[in-house]
């Protein structure tokens, strides 16, 4: 049985932890709100750019025989892919990071079984730490980007991969991340970016002018580049919102657990105190009885 | 005709307009209702919108992509700053931001100067 003093220290320490977790939850709630807003704003653009890309590629494919861009070509044999894994820089958010890592490991196995070589690009400190520990080779590791998504940096990162894709060094880009669904759920996304699918359009006779004249490829190429850059940026935003919602949940659970623990410990403390009181009483009474007999 | 201008950071403008002028890669061009389908890239410059109430609105863009169909226009831009504001200080701020956007996006002094003067003259009409 723990002494009264020990119990008291324990209760205090749990209470302190609870204070921290509660504060962290509040911080995450505030940050989530901001991340959510950014996500909503950019969803508009995501919708538009997807719409426009598919519309234009289908129009062009109807005007021209084939689109002379690797992003639209069908690749028969995939030999090497870029695997981009996005996790948070910080922990304390439940299974958020680990889920992503687990999915990545599965994907790696899957690709290896097909004899596909992998270049692992890791964004986020948590995943970097894991892969270092597991001694899995990383092609590139980026820290600090997931906690502060930045369009330019995201573009720089994905453009390296995209350029390699255009130069036929790799054959696909796969992004794995844990995204935001709502305040209580996150969802793992595994996105294969390339090739971009061309939808066959029904009305094929439509006239379409392209400027610079007859240079469909350059127009489309810049669009595809934007499209891919954008997906990367969106991934970061989505992941950040997911991270905050996961942390909010984890910290909420931790606060509740701490509450429960304080309750249990207080019960124990009261019991111990009562015991001590009873024991003292017995001692006094016995002493008195002993004195009476004399 | 309808136009929507969106950037990764949100929607800049959406609504009904009479006429729009764009800084296309092959030169400035105007779009009226019933324009032939067209797609093109934009270079740094200003988009001028003539709204249905006759008022003009100027939006500076650093890169863009335009899709025109007979009844609507889609503009995707990297960065866009509308030169609007309800007070003079707000307008001045918007102008400064717009100029900065163009300066960052372009390395040609001549282009920056033309665009800047356009932004300023448009602001005078506000």
What digits encode the pLDDT tens for the residues B42-66? 888 888 888 888 888 888 888 888 8
Structure-token pair, residue A85: 């894994």
- Chain A partners within 8 Å of B36 (Cβ): 207, 209
Annotated domain spans of chain B: 1-126
Asked if A207 is an interface residue toward chain B (Cβ–Cβ < 8 A), one would say yes
> Could you give the CA distance from residue A265 to residue A271 in angstroms, rounded to a whole number?
10
Mean pLDDT of A44-64: 75
A117 within 8 A of A139, measured Cβ to Cβ:
no
A199 or B79, greater pLDDT: B79
Torsion angle in degrees (nearest 10) through CA of A110, A111, A113, A115: 180
Instruction: Please tell me which residue of chain B has the smallest CA distance to A152.
Output: B78
> Residue A279: pLDDT band by 50, 70, 90 thresholds?
very high
- Chain A partners within 8 Å of B26 (Cβ): 211-213
Q: What is the DSSP letter of A248?
A: H
**pLDDT given at position A212:** 67
Most trustworthy range by pLDDT among A71-75, A165-169, A283-287, B47-51: A283-287
- Chain A partners within 8 Å of B6 (Cβ): 44-45, 48
> Could you give the CA distance from residue A217 to residue A195 in angstroms, rounded to a whole number?
15
Residues 50-89 of A with CB under 8 A from B: 51-52, 55-56, 59
**pLDDT given at position A9:** 93
B73 or B83, greater pLDDT: B73
Residues near A294 by Cβ (< 8 Å), separated by ≥ 6? none
The 10s digit of each residue's pLDDT in A134-173 is: 888 888 888 888 888 888 888 888 989 988 888 888 888 9
Superfamily of domain A36-247: ATP synthase, F1 complex, gamma subunit (3.40.1380.10)
Closest CA to A248 of A180, A150, A149: A180
Asked if B32 is an interface residue toward chain A (Cβ–Cβ < 8 A), one would say no
**pTM listed for this prediction:** 0.82
Mean pLDDT of A188-214: 70
CB–CB contact A45 B76 (8 Å): yes
How many Cα atoms within 13 Å fall on the side-chain side of residue A273?
A: 9
CB–CB contact A211 B39 (8 Å): yes
CB–CB contact B65 A222 (8 Å): yes
- Chain A partners within 8 Å of B4 (Cβ): 48
Residues near A109 by Cβ (< 8 Å), separated by ≥ 6? none
Q: Which CATH architecture has domain B1-126?
A: Sandwich (2.60)
Closest CA to A210 of B6, B41, B74: B41
ipTM greater than 0.85, yes or no? no
CB–CB contact A52 B65 (8 Å): yes
The fraction of chain A above a pLDDT of 70, given in percent, is: 90
């Amino acid at each position: 049985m723990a002494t009264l003093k020990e119990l008291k220290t324990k209760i205090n320490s749990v209470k302190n932890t609870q204070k921290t977790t509660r504060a962290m939850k509040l911080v995450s709630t505030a940050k989530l709100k901001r991340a959510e807003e950014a996500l909503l704003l950019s969803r508009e653009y995501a919708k538009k750019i997807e719409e426009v890309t598919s519309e234009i590629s289908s129009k062009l494919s109807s005007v021209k025989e084939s689109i002379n861009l690797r992003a639209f070509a069908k690749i028969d044999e995939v030999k090497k892919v870029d695997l981009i894994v996005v996790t948070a820089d910080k922990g304390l958010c439940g299974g958020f990071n680990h889920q992503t890592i687990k999915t990545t490991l599965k994907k790696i196995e899957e690709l290896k079984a097909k004899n596909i070589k992998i270049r692992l690009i890791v964004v986020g400190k948590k995943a970097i730490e894991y892969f270092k520990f597991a001694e899995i080779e990383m092609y590139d590791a980026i820290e600090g980007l997931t906690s502060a998504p930045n369009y330019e940096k995201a573009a720089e990162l994905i453009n390296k991969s995209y350029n390699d894709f255009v130069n036929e060094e790799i054959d696909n880009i796969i992004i794995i991340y844990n995204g935001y669904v709502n305040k209580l759920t996150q969802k793992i996304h595994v996105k294969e970016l390339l090739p971009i699918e061309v939808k066959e359009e029904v009305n094929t006779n439509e006239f379409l002018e392209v400027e610079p004249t007859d240079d469909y490829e350059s127009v489309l190429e810049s669009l595809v580049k934007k499209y891919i850059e954008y997906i990367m940026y969106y991934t970061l935003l989505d992941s950040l919102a997911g991270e905050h919602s996961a942390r909010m949940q984890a910290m909420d659970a931790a606060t509740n657990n701490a509450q429960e623990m304080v309750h249990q410990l207080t019960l124990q403390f009261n019991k111990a105190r009562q015991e001590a009181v009873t024991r003292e009483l017995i001692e006094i009474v016995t002493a008195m009885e002993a004195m009476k007999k004399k | 005709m309808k136009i929507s201008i969106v950037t990764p950071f949100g929607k800049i403008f959406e609504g009904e307009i009479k006429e729009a002028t764009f800084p296309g890669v092959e030169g400035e061009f105007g779009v009226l209702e019933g324009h032939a389908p067209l797609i093109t890239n934009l270079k740094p410059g200003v988009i001028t919108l003539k709204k249905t109430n006759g008022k003009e609105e100027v939006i500076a863009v650093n890169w863009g992509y335009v899709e025109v169909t007979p009844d609507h226009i889609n503009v995707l831009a990297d960065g866009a700053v509308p030169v609007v504001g309800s007070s003079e200080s707000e307008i001045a701020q918007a102008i400064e931001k717009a100029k900065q956007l163009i300066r960052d996006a372009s390395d040609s002094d001549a282009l920056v100067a033309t665009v800047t003067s356009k932004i300023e003259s448009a602001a005078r009409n506000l």
